Structure 1
């Protein structure tokens, strides 16, 4: 119980500090973050872990400051580290509680078992679809029995396209706004392909992984 309380209070404290100083950190990135890449990546991690400021805005600022390539790397690093930290907080602080809740409801338990059988591809695909809340994927994965390594790899790989998008859009707004139409068209097409692929793949477990 003490461990759970410490984890929760630490999270609340850091969230409060980000709430107070989040805009100042964003201003620091805009004014001089390009001189301190590692420090900026750590700041981006905090801003992604406690999204007081929407992370697409953070990614756009990083793209404008660092350029599309390095901006994408820093944006992706911050988001990936934040999701891993969130996973660790929940997994090592509250998984036992979560599993009790999951197995209390038969339908949820069956869905979780299917998820665990196909965890890598499910996490990867849900990361490719940006309107699926990241925090939901983080917490549900942590409460399940998905391994830390599988989650880390699938989540980090799946985040790449959207993080690149945020940085490229931010850079284009500053450098070449005319590119935004083509970026939107390309990424919209990409999401359609991902969505249809996800729907197609989603039918397979239902047919081939029936639970007893």
Structure 2
């Protein structure tokens, strides 16, 4: 809890000056702030990623900015570290605050009930599926899984591995677009990347059918 408190204190001044939502959602503004931060820009980028996840703000724009600023390799590594730490902190925060307290706020939601039933019936297989297939909002999953019985390290390692393909493709494509602009080569690479993601999602769905995992059934049950 001390780490989280210090994190918010460090960023409070930055967010007060620039505005949290504007800083994270304004692409060009975000680029300028990180560039002007020098070596601290790497740290600032990771901290912004973490706070965005904790506040349930999608981190996709940050991944794109990472590709533009840091390149495909460094951008992928930095974004992966940031996303993994953010997921882990959200997960631990849910556990630290306590199941009883958080259940008062999220226990009635269809997302949490579906995840809890999925973990109870299928264990880490369900986690792998929901990380690869966008069934539920990603950042909400972080908190929801913290309220289940899944081990912390299983959650963290699986989240990192399943997040890597998407982060790499987003980072690579954003870097290519910023460097070369919209060209036939870029369109070709984008098509290949889209096909790769589509294939990965379909493979995950096929694997879920093989393992007899039916998240839609869980979701429908919770909606009744």
TM-score higher than 0.5 = yes
Does residue 199 of structure 2 align to residue 193 of structure 1? yes
Does residue 148 of structure 2 align to residue 149 of structure 1? no
Q: How does 1:135-174 map to 2 (within 5 A)?
A: 135-174=139-178
Does residue 97 of structure 2 align to residue 93 of structure 1? yes
Alpha carbons of structure 1 residues 44 and 27: separation in structure 2 relative to 1, 3 Å: farther
Aligned to 1:210: none
Contiguous gaps of at least 5 residues in structure 1: 208-212
Alpha carbons of structure 1 residues 94 and 175: separation in structure 2 relative to 1, 3 Å: same
Aligned to 1:49: 54
Q: C-alpha displacement at 1:180, in angstroms?
A: 3.5
Q: C-alpha displacement at 1:200, in angstroms?
A: 2.3
Match for residue 62 of structure 1 among 58, 61, 66: 66
Following the alignment from structure 1 to structure 2, what is the Cα–Cα distance between the partners of residues 75 and 111? 25
Following the alignment from structure 1 to structure 2, what is the Cα–Cα distance between the partners of residues 111 and 61? 31
Contact 2:87 2:142 in 1 (8 A): yes
Aligned to 1:205: 212
Q: TM-score, normalised by structure 1?
A: 0.71
Q: C-alpha displacement at 1:188, in angstroms?
A: 2.3
Alpha carbons of structure 1 residues 134 and 181: separation in structure 2 relative to 1, 3 Å: same
Alpha carbons of structure 1 residues 111 and 28: separation in structure 2 relative to 1, 3 Å: closer
Aligned to 1:180: 186
* RMSD of Structure 2 on Structure 1 (CA): 3.8
Aligned to 2:127: 123
Q: C-alpha displacement at 1:39, in angstroms?
A: 4.6
